Amino acid sequence: MSAVSATSADMAETRRKSFDLSMPIFIFLALLLTALVALPLFWIIFYSFRSDTGAGATLENFVTLVTDSTLLQAYGLAIGMSLAVGLLSCVVATPMAWLVARTDLPGRKWIRMLVTASFVTPPFLGAIAYEILAAPNTGLANVVYRKIFGLDQSTVLVNIYTFSGLVFAIACFTFPYVFTLVSNALDKVPSDLEDASSILGGNAMTTLRKVTIPMVLPAMLAGTLIAILQSLTMFGSPAIIALPAGFHVITTKIWSLFQFPPRLGLAAASAIPLLILTIILLQTQKAILGRKGYTVLGGKSGSPRLTKFGRWKWVAIAFVLTVLSLTIFFPYLALVKTAFTNTVGDPLTWDTLTLKHWNFVLFEFSATRLAMWNTMLLGVLTATAVTAIALVVSYLVVRRSVTGSKYLGLLATAPVAIPGIVLGVGLFLSYANPTFQLYGTLWILLIAFMTIELPAGYQQMSSSFAGVHPELEEAGRILGASRMTTLRHITAPLLRTSVVAAWCFVFVGTIRELSATILLTTANTKLVSVIIYDLNESGDLGAICVLGILLLLISFAVVYVANRVPVLGGAQMSTRG
Amino acid sequence: MSFLVLSDLEKRYGALTVVKGVNLSVDKGKLVCLLGPSGCGKTTTLRLIAGFVPADGGEIRVGDKVVSSPAGTMPPENRNMSMIFQSYALWPHMTVYQNVAYGLKLRKLPADEVDKRVKAILGVTQLTPLAERYPGELSGGQQQRVSLARALVVKPEILLLDEPLSNLDANLREEMRFEIRRLHDEFRYTTVYVTHDQAEAMTTADLIVVMNNGKIEQSGTPEDIYARPETEFVARFIGGTNILTGKAKGKNTVDVDGGFTLQCGSGSLVEGGKGIVSIRHHDIELSPKKKVDVNSVPRVVKRQIYLGSHRDYLVDIKGGETIRTVAPVDVEMPVGSEAWLHFPPQHCRALTE
């Protein structure tokens, strides 16, 4: 009988332990996430009803919003721009995705890798590359054109400082979204569906038109909507191209309301329609992807059919090369050339090669070291914090150890609907006040980055958690491992790859962030992305290119290291999946 | 003396009670099969024994210790049990050797002892050449054997198996059934085995426990369950049978709804109450002419199929039921002809509801 009493003591102890751990963590996370998401939104709404001149509640900000022609125009241009970007991305990316996924085009694997790699390019860097390439006077394209045809200085072939130039420059960096979604969808269309069409008498064209394209249409639409959303909420590229061109889109307009004299109430009110548009776009995208079962296609049945090219092969290759040149080769070459020559327009010879920009950035320019340090510090902190939070939240949500954990999942996903610039406004209003006094510190930036990156980190972690069968953990328990030992020996090693991937993803996302940063940064908290933007205003393209290349090198290095170092779970795991 | 005892065990999920007062005693060294259709509560019962789910009523005792009761649940890791999961649950980041050694390492055995025991069990389960492979590099049957080896090597007090063969193809499944029985005969661990496949249960079990709707319908040896079912559910679920209903005329006589009377050789009835008679397909004798007087009745053949080793007949009787029976190949009667059905009394089992 003594055994019985010992057992009940054991049991009581275990119960107390598991209760103690889960509940406080749950409550802490719930409070933290609520604060991260709700506080900025609350202050945006609060300020939008507050007069910038006097005190008290007022509707004057909203009246200004619908009557002020510059604001209306900014919204109109932003919407027009993003629709054009969406359309252009879709028109370019869809044929390319088809070529890569469903034809015998040579080098398909490389094309896919290149396009995926271009995700890493920060859009604002792309915009700067196109400044170098296509500015009306000094743009390389114009210089070369004049030289070849012996034309005078006033002739201009291309001008990036226009509305269409802006659309083009943004589309170069949003088309990978459409490309990735469509090519993945094409990969997954089971070939027997197409075989079924053929056997019933459909020729290749009919099958493509009636079966294949309708199957990937949702992916196309969803990708296009993402491209639209991305360009609508983007700050960097419009600020670099639209401002010299003499017009505002809504993000740059909101930013200008923060310049002296600041009009915070109006900025808050102007941010609200952008927030609503984002939510509508995301809901539409969700509806499109979720409406019919065929979009989320299950396992492959047979490998996809490949269309064989005859003499049309060269047309296809030319098309792909053109797209890749415009979006990847030319911009990167322009960045590298500018980093190593005296001025943008210098011809590329041994004499013009110089390291003076590198010298300037690395040793002379006082702001570099601080900005690099800040960027790295924030990147590491954000990536670590977001991965840790995402890990615990998805453990609670997927394993449902605590009731109400679903709410945590919703909170962790919510920031996806808040555009960076809107979040910037919200965080400024929340934390740049006498109570918190976080403005001018790195804390406010850390909060911003954590909020922005949380949805991506959470999504990655929760899907990989769902991939770890609960029986794997139970097998550990029944063989004698406690809950913590099981987590350490079994769950953690299985999740290691995803944790590392999520960490890198967040890190790379953080060090290129500009939309929220631009409103929250001060002289003491400069980041590399902000310095690039500042240097652009002073026209120092050589230094920008050096910084941009450094930023890219760091991004690629992080991704590479994560994939290669076996301790971090790269190659070792992937060879057996 | 019983080693594993479940008394009045209950489990509720919200308003739904999935295990409704299960009582079961298992002697040391026996293999018990929990058999039943999906959703009958057998897997939940197994997880209650393992300690993955807490009990809402009753208790589970192992030896003289209470391991689960509404007052508390001993965590699975302290129960010295092991389990084989439906998905095998092999850890993909560990080799076969590491998977098998894991439980021993947790028990803090000296390294050479761990090595000796792992190698021994890998030999018994014919896995020695695969020791350094990862689970992803093994076939389904090999993974199954690793899962067995990992569970057996720790010398558990109780071994639990949750539908261990449901992911294997038919041939392998049959082979593994005998393998599991062979290993049980070798090691004699007290074992609880959950399955919905009666052939699996018949092959492996010392004791079969048929569950339905959260309750135990009947428990007994495979022969008890098959030859002497106590309820209609058990008779139908194990082996398939013909069920004839009517009114009980005496302790072993039933007036069947089809308009004839059956003498039952076993089972007992309450006179004047409802009478249910079960008779297996292959126990009915079919002939063109009347052979005996008792339990014989002429009916019309509805369907006849030649199956090589035998013929499969469907014969309609009045009252809506259709009798299915098998006959030797030489008993050939065309569809539409009259046939005599003879129900030998020793094979007619009277059932209560």
Average pLDDT of the residues in A123-147: 88
Q: Which pLDDT band holds residue B120 (cuts at 50, 70, 90)?
A: very high
Residues of B in contact with A471 (CB under 8 A): 85-87, 89
Residues B221 and B303 in one domain: no
Q: Residue B234 domain-assigned?
A: no
Of B72, B87, B150, the CB nearest to A471: B87
User: B72, A3: Cβ pair inside 8 Å?
Assistant: no
- Please tell me whether residues B86 and B146 are part of one structural domain: yes
Q: What integer is the mean pLDDT of A295-314?
A: 62
- Residue A294 to residues A98, A107, A211, A306, A455, Cα–Cα distance (Å): 18, 29, 11, 21, 25
Contact criterion met (CB < 8 Å) for A11 and B82: no
Residues of B in Cβ contact (< 8 Å) with A477: 52, 75-77
* Measured distance CA(A200)–CA(A197) in Å, rounded: 5
Tell me if B232 is assigned to some domain: no
Q: How many CB atoms lie within 10 A of CB A433?
A: 12
A370-377 long-range contacts, Cβ below 8 Å, gap at least 24? A370/A526, A371/A526, A371/A527, A371/A528, A371/A530, A371/A531, A372/A528, A372/A550, A374/A442, A374/A445, A374/A525, A374/A526, A374/A527, A375/A511, A375/A527, A375/A528, A375/A529, A375/A551, A376/A511, A376/A554, A377/A442
Give yes or no for a contact between B196 and B86, defined as CB atoms under 8 angstroms apart.
no
| pLDDT on residue B12 | 92
One-letter amino acid identity for A193? L
* High-pLDDT (> 90) share of chain B, %: 47
A7 interface with B at CB cutoff 8 Å: yes
Number of domains in chain B: 2
Residue type, B179: E
Q: Are residues B215 and B313 in the same domain?
A: no
Domains of chain A: 50-120+162-306 (1.10.3720.10), 356-577 (1.10.3720.10)
Inside any domain, residue B309: yes
Whole-number Å distance between alpha carbons of A304 and B140: 27
Interface pTM, i.e. ipTM: 0.80
Contact with chain B for residue A11, Cβ under 8 A: yes
Residue finishing a domain among B227, B252, B287: B227
- Best residue of B5, B68, B77 to probe chain A, by most A CBs closer than 10 Å: B77
For residues B135 and B275, membership in a common domain is answered with: no
Tokens, residue B316: 């309609």
Using a CB–CB cutoff of 8 Å, tell me whether B106 touches chain A. Answer: yes
Q: What share of chain B is helix, strand, coil (3-state, %, to 5)?
A: 30, 35, 35
Residue pair B203/B181 in contact by the 8 Å Cβ criterion: yes
> A574 in contact with B at a CB cutoff of 8 Å?
no
The whole-number average pLDDT for the span A344-373 is 83
Spatial contact of A186 and A268, defined as CB atoms under 8 Å apart: no
Q: Does some domain include residue B235?
A: no
CB contact under 8 A, A479 and B106: yes
Q: Do B43 and B143 belong together in one domain?
A: yes
How distant is the Cα of B70 from the closest Cα of chain A, in angstroms?
11
Residue A91, pLDDT score: 93
B63 & B197 share domain: yes
How many Å apart are CA B228 and CA B268, to the nearest integer?
11
Encode B297-324: b = buried (16+ Cβ within 10 Å), e = exposed.
Answer: bebebeebeeeeebbebebebeeebebb
Shared domain for B223 and B252, answered yes or no, is no
Q: Residue A21 — very low, low, confident or very high, per pLDDT cuts 50/70/90?
A: low
Residue B327 sits in a domain of what CATH number?
2.40.50.100
Least CB-CB distance to B77: which of A11, A15, A481?
A: A481
The single-letter DSSP state of residue A307 is: B
B102 touching A (Cβ < 8 Å): yes
Task: Find the mean pLDDT for residues B251-279.
Answer: 83
pLDDT digits (tens, 9 = 90+) for B10-62: 999 888 999 999 999 999 999 999 999 988 999 999 999 999 989 999 999 99
Q: Which residues contact B49 (CB under 8 A, 6 or more apart)?
A: B4, B6, B60, B68, B81, B158, B160, B192
Q: Is B81 an interface residue toward A (CB < 8 Å)?
A: yes
Is residue B261 classed as helix, strand or coil in its secondary structure?
strand
According to DSSP, residue A35 is labeled: H
Question: B138 near B145, Cβ under 8 Å?
Answer: no
B260 and B342 part of one domain: yes
Q: Are B65 and B211 within one domain?
A: yes
Using CA atoms, how far apart are residues A508 and A121, in angstroms rounded to an integer?
10
- The pLDDT value recorded for residue B319 is 67
A481: nearest CB among B90, B106, B137: B106
Mean pLDDT, range B75-97, rounded to an integer: 91
**Residue A479: which of B66, B74, B103 has the nearest Cβ?**
B103
Q: In the prediction, which pLDDT does A291 show?
A: 60
Domain range enclosing B39: 2-227
Residue of B nearest to A6 (CA): B65
Helices (H) and strands (E) in chain B, counts: 8, 21
Contact A472/B at CB under 8 A: yes
Three-class secondary structure of residue B22 per DSSP: strand
A-B CB pairs within 8 A amount to 97
Q: Tell me the C-alpha distance between B240 and B227, whole Å.
A: 12
Answer yes or no: are the C-beta atoms of B266 and B274 closer than 8 Å: no
B150–A479 CB contact, under 8 Å: yes
- Domain boundary residue, one of B227, B256, B273: B227
In the structure, how many helices (H) and strands (E) does chain A have? 27, 0
Say if the Cβ atoms of A576 and B134 lie within 8 Å.
Answer: yes
Of the residues B205, B227, B249, the one at which a domain ends = B227
Residue B161: pLDDT band (50, 70, 90) is very high
Residues of A in contact with B79 (CB under 8 A): 478
Residue B138 lies in a domain: yes
Helix ranges (DSSP H) in A233-347: 236-245, 250-258, 264-291, 313-324, 330-340
Q: Does B13 touch chain A (CB under 8 A)?
A: no
> Tell me, what CATH number does B162's domain have?
3.40.50.300
Long-range contacts of A68-76 (CB under 8 A, 24+ apart): A70/A248, A70/A253, A71/A250, A71/A253, A71/A270, A73/A247, A73/A248, A74/A247, A74/A248, A74/A249, A74/A250, A74/A252, A74/A253, A75/A250, A75/A273
- Collapsing DSSP to helix, strand or coil, A294 comes out as coil
Provide the pLDDT confidence category of residue A55 given band limits of 50, 70 and 90: low
